[in-house]
Amino acid sequence: MNLKSPVKRWSTGIAALLLALSLAACGNNTKDNSAATQPETSKQENTQPAAAESLKTTYPLTLQDATGQSFTFKEAPKHIVSVSPAETEALFAIGLDNEIVGVSDYDDYPETAKSKPKMGGIMKPNEEAIIAAQPDVVFTGISMSEEAVKKLRELSIPIFKTDPKNVDDVIKNIETYGQITDHQAEAKKVVDQMKAEESAVVEAVKSLSDDQKKKVYIEFSPGWTVGKGEFMDELISLAGGINVASDTQGWSEISEEKIIKDNPDVILYAKSVIDDKTKKGLGDIIKGRSGWDQITAVKNGAVIGLDDNLLSRPGPRVTQGLQEVAKAIYPDLFK
């Protein structure tokens, strides 16, 4: 599968996503059903010390990743490499700045990540750099294929892969990172905030009737959209919208005629994407397509650019992305 649209400037989230498209759209996905769940704490005040103790990790700890590979951690990892922007954000969010000894070339958030040693790309990282960093564990995400993971493991690189398909998967992954690193309390704070952000959106749109729900089309690179089975599709559903591409599966190239026929009420796009040949932004490309001036979203000025990284990274800011999607679809509900 070829990526036909040249793009000169894009966010690192969208770039990472596009680099993996041919694998995500055409390959088989293995969902991580074995991520550790957050330990339950007692609601009784007099058992708070015991509850706090339950957030400490007991080693040795054995877990499986999304590929089914089993990992046994004898202690909290002291040297961590991440070759996925979403995973890097999660690891920093739970307070692992000192333990992170390397990140991918695309990792730019938080600001501190930019100063970490670079480990190459997200699909094919720099093997020599990773080995030299001597990591206890290497985290990767949706952008790396299982085949690439297997090759790295053949070099004795301990690579732990995630493959989140929805917000709950993202949350479970963050809880798993907290358990692996004995940062469960920090992970709980992040997860609690994410759940609050998600709940606020769901609560705001729950009263919408079926005929009030808006049809939504999302485009994150020229000619590419997303259907069922991916977290970006779920963001639209959680925000009370109806994804017009929900009759497709995964990442796919669009049919311009089909989108005209579907007639979405709202069009969302990655706002920093610029076509290399025409120098046009994605919003202008969308509005300039033949026949698209008849689409309700275009006629009503509901073609809205969103922060690429919030839109594309299944990490701790994914619920902020959800909030932005919801505000774009139903601005009156989120004034």
- Interval 204-225: pLDDT, tens: 999 999 999 999 999 988 999 9
Q: What is the mean pLDDT of residues 9-34?
A: 46
Per residue in 292-310, pLDDT (tens digit) is 999 999 999 999 999 989 9
Q: What is the pTM of this model?
A: 0.85
Q: Are 302 and 266 in contact (CB under 8 A)?
A: yes
Angle in degrees, 0-180, between the axes of helices 231-238 and 318-329, rounded to the nearest 10: 50
The two beta strands, 61-64 and 70-73, are antiparallel
Tokens 């809205």, residue? 304
Q: How much of the chain, in percent, has pLDDT values that exceed 70?
A: 84
Main-chain phi, psi angles of 57, to 5 degrees: -80, 135
* pLDDT at residue 45 is higher than 80: no
pLDDT of residue 16: 54
Return the higher-pLDDT residue of 30 and 77.
77
What pLDDT band is residue 275 in, cutting at 50, 70 and 90? confident
Select from 272, 267, 275, 264 the least CA-distant residue to 310.
Answer: 272
d(CA 318, CA 311): 7
Q: Coil, strand or helix: which one is 53?
A: helix
Q: Mean pLDDT lowest for which of 16-20, 87-91, 181-185, 201-205?
A: 16-20
* pLDDT at residue 101 is higher than 80: yes
Return the higher-pLDDT residue of 20 and 102.
102
Tokens 């977290």, residue? 231
* pLDDT at residue 155 is higher than 90: yes
Residues in the chain: 335
Return the higher-pLDDT residue of 164 and 35.
164
Question: Mean pLDDT over all residues of the chain?
Answer: 88
Q: For residue 232, give Cα distances in angstroms to 15, 163, 251.
A: 15, 13, 10
d(CA 96, CA 295): 47
